[in-house]
Amino acid sequence: MGDAAPVSRVAAVPGRRALAAPLAHPRQLVRGPDGAGRCAVGLQPDRGRDAAGRRSAHRQVGGDRRPHRGRSGRAVIATSTRLDLLEIVGPLRSKQGPVGIFNPSGLGGIASTVHFDPVVGCQHPSTAYARAEDMLGTVSRGDSEREYWAGQARRVLSGLLHAAALGGASMEDVLAWVAAPDTAKATVLGYLRRSPAPAYVADVSQFLSTNDKTRSSITSTIMPALSWLTVDTAVAAASVGDFDVDQLLASRGTVFLLGAADGQTAPLVAALTGHIARQARQLASVQPHGRLDPPLTLALDEAALICPVPLDQWTADMGGRGVTIHIAVQSRAQLEQRWGREGAAAILNNAGTVLVYGGTRDPHDLDAWTKLAGERVDEDIGLVPVLSPAQIAQLPERRVLIIRRAAPVAVGTVRMAWRRRDVRRAQRERVNEAIADPPVVSEEAGFDA
């Protein structure tokens, strides 16, 4: 992804004399529909290329995500629930560096060339807790009771991951321990006695010895985070290997994280994404000015479904460390469902620019964008909205409302990704190649440690 561009044109908004200039350094949040709203969030200032969009009955690619992925001089992690991103951008990214696939859901029958075992690294208590937090990101936030049980689940799952790492056990063993705590008690506590954090013994022992009702509430919260263990392609992708973030950054490589829309493999995708992001943040801390060089882009399409990492926290911190984050979700309501009202507000507030596509039908969303667009003075009526909710909902195809910090609103035109010369050139080069076996993906992408 990398360096973004000015929006190609700025269109006039009825009733407003002057609009903002095209984006020169966007930090982008893109919203647009598949018929019902879609958005992407970017938190790192970029330097300029066209935004790109693609519309179909099933998908709208908004903002600048594809151009960045194609020509960025940085490492890229890109998530998607479809193969078109891999097919269009993969050939371009392969000219930058190695390209790998992490496909735990087996989308399109493509095998994973990148592997990641969530137990690896969990011998360190901090890693075990972060890994549990990432995997339990699929537990939607909401009322205080749900938050309470999610907190208990994080505490217990981190202890079990820690025990597995200390004892050389696997994720299948962790699942068995959650399913039958009484049977697992002696084994788990024996492993935890090797821990550098003795408090884990008491912590997990409390879970193993508590009453059935409490224990059942905790295990039922943990189980969705382990549901991917029933998917054979996910088990194969997670059976061995650690992910070498240093190699990814040094080679300016790309990894496509593919996931099904049902979200069953989302905890595994989130675990790998979290591992990469946290390692990148740690590497940035020892580099000049605390920034990654070369930088990293996280392009998280359908983030709420397949990659529910703690974005409300990351979006406040990662931009200053050389990590660009682009988030794609269907609506503001989906943000709130996944990250809670406060978390969704934090994500939106941390975005420097909001791009709103037409087609949104949620009146609350439309009212919010109307308020953000501001007001103008009508000579006859007085103060009126710059854009009414109906005008935003009925924006023509490929037109976006741009709401940027410290700038008047604008309406821009996005460019179709497949119209780019480099994309068309790459597609011509692949005319005689089988799409089912993309040559841009080697059997060994070089990211497994």
Q: How far apart are CA 3 and CA 1, in angstroms?
A: 7
Residue for token pair 């189980």: 223
Residue ranges and CATH numbers for the domains of the chain are 9-17+27-106+243-429 (3.40.50), 125-230 (no CATH)
pLDDT at 193 (0 to 100): 93
CA atoms within 13 A on the CB side of 7: 31
Q: How far apart are CA 350 and CA 353, in angstroms?
A: 9
Q: Where are the alpha helices (DSSP H) in 351-404?
A: 363-373, 389-393
What's 150-218 look like in SS3? HHHHHHHHHHHHHHHHHHCCCHHHHHHHHHCHHHHHHHHHHHHCCCCCCHHHHHHHHHHHCCHHHHHHH
pLDDT at 114 (0 to 100): 93
pLDDT at 141 (0 to 100): 62
pLDDT at 95 (0 to 100): 85
pLDDT at 140 (0 to 100): 58
pLDDT at 445 (0 to 100): 59
Nearest alpha-carbon partner for 259 in 218, 212, 304, 206: 304
Residue for token pair 């069953």: 264
- Tens digit of each residue's pLDDT (9 = 90 or more) over 42-54: 332 233 332 333 2
Inter-residue contact 40 to 326 (CB < 8 Å) = yes
- Strands of the sheet containing 39-41, edge to edge, are 9-11, 410-413, 399-404, 353-357, 28-31, 39-41
Inter-residue contact 159 to 192 (CB < 8 Å) = yes
pLDDT at 431 (0 to 100): 64
Residue for token pair 């070089």: 446
Q: How far apart are CA 211 and CA 446, in angstroms?
A: 47
Q: How far apart are CA 162 and CA 169, in angstroms?
A: 10
Q: How far apart are CA 134 and CA 91, in angstroms?
A: 30
Q: What is the average pLDDT score of the chain?
A: 79
Low-confidence ranges of the chain (pLDDT < 70): 1-72, 138-143, 430-446, 449
In Å, what is the CA distance from 392 to each residue of 10, 27, 422? 15, 21, 32
Single pTM value for the model? 0.78
**Distance between start and end Cα atoms, the chain:** 25
Q: How far apart are CA 255 and CA 100, in angstroms?
A: 5
pLDDT at 354 (0 to 100): 76
Taking the CA atoms of residue 160, residue 164, residue 170 and residue 173 in that order, the dihedral angle to the nearest 10 degrees is -50
pLDDT at 437 (0 to 100): 56
Inter-residue contact 415 to 37 (CB < 8 Å) = no
Cα-to-chain-centroid distance, residue 183: 37
